[in-house]
Amino acid sequence: MEADHSSSATEGMQAAVFHGPDNILVQRTQYFQDRPALKVNSCAVCSYDVRVFRNGHRKVSPPIILGHEVCGQVTKSVQMTNGTISEGTRVALCPIIPCLDCVYCRTGQYNMCLNLKEIGSTHNGGFAEYVSIPKQTVKMGGLVEVPDSLSDEEASLLEPLACCLHGLQQLGPIHDARPVVIIGDGPVGLLHLQLFKNFVGTRTVVVGKVHSRMQKARSMGAEAVLEYNEDIATRVLDFTGKAGASVVVIATSNPSAFDLVEKVAGKSSKISLFAGMPSGQKFSFDANWLHYNQVSIVGTFSSLPPVLEEAARVAAERIVDLSEVVTHRYSLAEVEKAFHTTETFGGLRAVINKF
């Protein structure tokens, strides 16, 4: 008589498994059906995913499933501290997995956790049929219901939108009329553009390189969109006036952004280092420029559950239109194509949809 293995809690699922640089396989893999999980509806491709796919990353030990910008439906009801999320509810996921016990976690700064793990880096992520939900995610309130007015693929972008909102919070109040300069015309640059224009209410200039994206920045209402070249600093200052920018957002992983920052940031300005840089990247500013001009440089990383909730509200009220940012759609089997689109700056965000 044959043993019946199918009655165990383990079932197979389709997933794009990262095995090492340039090696990703769409294959059946183990999935524990008895644990709370999300059935993935959409998972957006972040440039982080592509960097890991090409080069690996110190945080990532293959084999692992990447993808951290997830919209899915809960497979069984989940008891959160602020109520129950019933089976089948669509949610966005806060991908950080904090220990809940360190000095940062005890004060709610989960993204600064000393023992931080992350869905899509150290825990299997969203380029799969299912993502299991860690206990910590539930405890910190890391599942946020998606408003009905948002599509699945829009909801997959709530995570990067939350990161941008979190970056804005790190800057503190912005109380002057000088323009904001965003360096970078990618999805994150253009999410910042929409936030500064429609949420903060500032005049905004985008510095870009990719013509189709620069066109998109114009259609989203940037007051100026300037192409990056040798005299870019002069042209930015022509727009801001000699007083320079109130805020400069670095939304590109290209370190040449630092040279531009020092030339265009005004007195009492705030610089948001939003993008991850190549590892080991250093930058230098003139110390007295920083001192006498009262310039602040702020790093920002990931976000927190309340910010993800705020992102859902901002997107549902169309303060930020996420549909403008989704430009390419792929099936799970086409994940490498989606990565290729991302690394060649095709459109803005590519999304893997349910299959």
Name the minimum Å distance from CB 250 to Zn ion.
16
Q: Please, which residues have CB within 8 angstroms of residue 11's CB and are 6 or more apart in sequence? A: 31, 33
Segment contacting Zn ion by CB under 5 A, of 13-21, 100-108, 282-290, 299-307 = 100-108
Name the minimum Å distance from CB 161 to Zn ion.
10
Q: What is the DSSP string of 340-351?
A: HHHHTT-SSEEE
Q: What is the DSSP string of 281-337?
A: ------HHHHHHTT-EEEE-----HHHHHHHHHHHHTTSS-GGGTEEEEE-GGGHHH
Give Cα separations from 74 to 86, 126, 127, 156, 159 (angstroms). 7, 13, 16, 15, 17
Name the minimum Å distance from CB 100 to Zn ion.
6
Task: Restricting to residues 306-335, name those near Zn ion by CB under 5 A.
Answer: none
The 10 Å Cβ neighbour count of residue 290 is 15
Name the minimum Å distance from CB 160 to Zn ion.
5
Segment contacting Zn ion by CB under 5 A, of 38-46, 123-131, 275-283, 324-332 = 38-46
Dihedral (C-alpha) 321, 323, 328, 330: value to the nearest 10 degrees? Answer: 130
Which residue number, 99 or 200, has a Cβ lying nearer to Zn ion? 99
State the binding string over 42-71 for Zn ion (x if CB under 5 A, else -): ----x-------------------------
Segment contacting Zn ion by CB under 5 A, of 97-105, 219-227, 250-258, 343-351 = 97-105
Task: Restricting to residues 236-275, name those near Zn ion by CB under 5 A.
Answer: none
Q: Is residue 280 within 8 Å of 300, Cβ to Cβ?
A: no
Which residue number, 134 or 244, has a Cβ lying nearer to Zn ion? 134
CA distance 32 to 134: 12
State the binding string over 103-122 for Zn ion (x if CB under 5 A, else -): --x-------x---------
Backbone angles phi, psi at 138, to 5 degrees: -65, -45
Please give the size of the binding site for Zn ion, defined by CB under 5 A.
6
Of residues 292, 297, 286, 294, the one with CA closest to residue 268: 294
CA distance 15 to 19: 12
Which residue number, 113 or 182, has a Cβ lying nearer to Zn ion? 113
CA distance 141 to 133: 11
Which residue number, 105 or 205, has a Cβ lying nearer to Zn ion? 105
Which residue number, 38 or 113, has a Cβ lying nearer to Zn ion? 113
Name the minimum Å distance from CB 333 to Zn ion.
22
Segment contacting Zn ion by CB under 5 A, of 11-19, 72-80, 83-91, 101-109 = 101-109
Name the minimum Å distance from CB 187 to Zn ion.
9
| Position 98 contacts Zn ion (CB under 5 A) | yes
**Which residue of 80, 102, 233, 290 would you call a contact of Zn ion, by CB under 5 A?**
102
The 10 Å Cβ neighbour count of residue 199 is 16
CA distance 22 to 27: 16
Would you tell me which residues interact with Zn ion (CB under 5 A)? 46, 98-99, 102, 105, 113
